[in-house]
A and B are shown apart, each in its own frame.
Chain A
Amino acid sequence: GENVEQHPSTLSVQEGDSAVIKCTYSDSASNYFPWYKQELGKGPQLIIDIRSNVGEKKDQRIAVTLNKTAKHFSLHITETQPEDSAVYFCAASFASKLTFGTGTRLQVTL
């Protein structure tokens, strides 16, 4: 089955700096790669996703890149704000099931 690795497990940045989280996946058949943000006491919420026919996608301060050959994808958050502090999960999907990475706890300090 699919295996998704995520790094780093924790990340601390100063407000206004950029944050980058990286994931690798094992199943070359995976074709959908979402990123979820989970705040304390809440369920995960989708923040951005990318499909295998696209190399990069951007939505305001958030961008995701995908390298299918190397089987890795990354989340980039620019101009970080305190409200970006949360746990972020990457995931990879083939058919209808998502396999999640281990999560990154992002802390944005003032």
Chain B
Amino acid sequence: SAVISQKPSRDICQRGTSLTIQCQVDSQVTMMFWYRQQPGQSLTLIATANQGSEATYESGFVIDKFPISRPNLTFSTLTVSNMSPEDSSIYLCSVWGTGAPNTGELFFGEGSRLTVL
């Protein structure tokens, strides 16, 4: 299993500002995933954070808007830059549990709910 802690759990932000979300895992993992869940919507993968290399971004997401750090095997941050109301979402960190990808379970943090005014 994997226990994931995210900070902040929620925040209200002003348009044009940036916010950094932290994700801490209780075990070492190779890949950490960042998802966005817009209000009432499904989960969309933003990027995969790999330790020691640049994050891999999905189509529609760019590093300038969502810079990611991965300083070690248990921690990652996602920054939402120059926020607009359209960025109001829940941002979720996730990791595969024990076992290689596709042989284990994908665990999620509780999410960080951002509201941009």
Contact = CB atoms under 8 A, between A and B. Distances in A.
A98 B110 CA distance: 18
B92 to A, nearest CB: 6
Contact of B102 (A41, A95, A100, A103): A95
B31 interface: yes
Contacts of B75: none
Nearest to B90: A43
A101 B105 contact: no
B13 to A, nearest CB: 19
Interface in A56-70: none
Interface in A84-110: 89, 93, 95-103
Interface stretch (A13-21, A44-52, A75-83): A44-52
Interface residues of A, number: 23
Contact of A96 (B59, B102, B107, B109): B102
Interface residues of B, number: 22
A69 to B, nearest CB: 21
Closest 5 CB pairs of A and B: A43-B108, A96-B101, A100-B43, A32-B102, A100-B42
11 contacts: A32-B102, A34-B106, A42-B110, A43-B4, A43-B111, A89-B42, A96-B31, A97-B33, A99-B45, A100-B43, A103-B41
Given A95-B101, A100-B44, A103-B42, 18 more contacts: A32-B102, A34-B105, A41-B110, A42-B111, A43-B4, A44-B43, A46-B106, A46-B107, A89-B42, A93-B101, A93-B102, A96-B31, A98-B45, A98-B106, A99-B45, A100-B42, A102-B41, A103-B41
